[in-house]
Amino acid sequence: MKEIRVRIAPSPTGLAHVGNIYIALFNFTFARQNKGKFVLRIEDTDMKRHVPAAEKVIYEALGWLGLRYDEGPDIGGKYGPYRQSERLALYKKYADQLLKDGFAYKDERAIRFKVPSGKTAWGDLIRGKIEFDNKEIKDFVILKSDNYPSYNFAVAIDDWQMKISHVIRAEEHISNTPRQIMIYEALGAPVPEFAHLPLLRNTDHSKISKRKNPVAISWYQEQGYLPEALLNFLCLLGWSHPQGKDVFPMAEFIKYFSFERISTSAPIFDLKKLDWLNGVYIRQKSNKDLKELLKPFNREGISFDLIDKTIPLVKERMTKLSEFSALTEFFVKEPKVDLKILMEKGEKDKKVIKKEFEKVLEEIGNIKWATNDLENFFRNLAQKEKYHLGKFFMTVRIALTGKTATPPLFETMEVLGKDKTFYRLKEALSLLK
């Protein structure tokens, strides 16, 4: 069996697009499953869209996600160079050959490929037989007047010269495929296998784009999505696990991957599903590992000791690492208590809440400042004074944190400490006068 060689060929336009990463994931997986090679090629011949620093963004995104390529512009390989802008002489050579052999002709200063009669077909690994009538395809430019190649010509030459065995890409390239096959056949080059993946869609079924969804991988990194969660999510877009699992490691995707399990219907890029998955992966982390991961997201400058204490309180509530600051800021910043919300949530007037807080301060005394003791005290006090338990706890929560939704109240009080708890209850009392 010939060596499996696959590639991704992004354009360096300023961001690592989640759609490109989706394609990279399936190429990487197929290569690893078959002990083949995964190649990164940079398509930088569109000088109008080229952003010089964008290559680094692509390298960093693939590195963060662990999609290691075996050959590429920054690491080399025996079929380089891996930037199209460094391969212009090669395109000129083969364009001239097609011209000489009668498969192309000059059109002003450009070279145009002569589309033959008949039909062009291939067996797509995902979609089965696809066929085009050649009379529907006009003669097309392969080398422009500035000696830069057209997209279809450069891709065909590069894939041939880099010995790419399987071209796994998005379905939007289906219409390009017959042109590329014509070029292979005219040059006497072997035609690779093709697999066209479904396009990612927004929830309204439009093509995923930055107008409706974040598409830059850097955004997902900055929001605190874990790379393994994002990969798991992308695996599920168009592919299904044979055991019906939603949560699984990359090793399982590599083991069970097959083109037969890929659906041709457009998968929906649902951020809510990604949030859920990311929360699952966060909860699977040890507190020690999570502490390290949270360091870049600690915007409030919480001490490492306090991070240790708060992780167990917020771990179940986080769907993204970026939520850590919002969930924990009240431990270090004095909260702004909204009197209107305090009364609405407690369904009581100021006098009643004032009496409750005074009673707490009067009776809490010298109890042991630990979660269980605090909970027993508040429950017993509510029973004795006939307070509505849920509303009583809610007003205390708002007074201490300024929020209606927080980590468990008594664990929070233990971490806040006795002095801060007393101070904040007294501050709330001053609002109730």
pLDDT above 70 (res 353): yes
Give the bridge partners for 38, in sequence order: 6
Active site residue ranges: 210
Distance from C-alpha of 407 to C-alpha of 267, rounded to nearest angstrom: 35
Task: Tell me what the mean pLDDT of segment 406-424 comes to.
Answer: 95
Answer yes or no: is pLDDT of 13 > 90: no
Lowest mean pLDDT among 241-255, 347-361, 376-390: 347-361
Identical fold between 217-330 and 334-431: no
Does 363 have pLDDT greater than 90?
yes
Provide mean pLDDT across the span 199-226.
88
d(CA 171, CA 103): 27
98-126 mean pLDDT: 98
The backbone torsions φ and ψ at residue 115, rounded to the nearest 5 degrees and listed phi first, read: -70, 125
The mean per-residue pLDDT over the stretch 317-336 comes to 93
Confidence of residue 213 (pLDDT cuts 50, 70, 90): confident
Report the alpha-carbon angle 54-200-60, nearest 5: 25
CATH fit for domain 87-197, picks 3.40.50.2000, 3.30.70.100, 3.40.50.620, 3.40.47.10? 3.40.50.620
Quick check: 344 pLDDT over 90?
A: no
Higher-pLDDT residue of 346 and 104 is: 104
Instruction: Quote the radius of gyration of the chain (alpha carbons, Å).
Output: 30
- Average pLDDT of the chain, as a whole number: 94
Q: Residue 211: is its pLDDT beyond 70?
A: no
Residue partners of 384: CB distance under 8 A and separation at least 6: none
Hey, where are the domains in the chain?
A: 87-197, 217-330, 334-431
Percent of the chain residues topping a pLDDT of 70: 98
pLDDT digits (tens, 9 = 90+) for 266-302: 899 999 999 999 999 999 999 999 999 999 998 777 8
- Most confident region among 160-169, 346-355, 358-367 by mean pLDDT: 160-169
Does 196 have pLDDT greater than 80?
yes
The pLDDT-based confidence of 12 (bands split at 50, 70, 90) is confident
Note the CATH number of domain 334-431.
1.10.10.350
> Mean per-residue pLDDT for 44-66?
86
In the chain, the amino acid numbered 139 is D
Q: How confident is the model over 226-274, as pLDDT tens digits?
A: 999 999 999 999 999 999 999 999 999 999 999 999 999 889 999 999 9
* 217-330 fold: Glutamyl-tRNA Synthetase; domain 2 (1.10.1160)
Q: Dump pLDDT digits (tens) for 21-30.
A: 999 999 999 9
Average pLDDT of 382-387? 95
Q: Are strands 110-113 and 104-107 parallel, antiparallel or unpaired?
A: antiparallel
Q: Is the pLDDT of residue 50 over 90?
A: no
Q: Which residue's entry shows tokens 């056949």?
A: 185
In the sheet with 110-113, reading across from the earlier edge strand, the strands are 104-107, 110-113, 140-143
**pLDDT band at residue 205 under the 50/70/90 scheme:** confident
pLDDT category of residue 433 using cuts at 50, 70 and 90:
confident
pLDDT at 294: 94
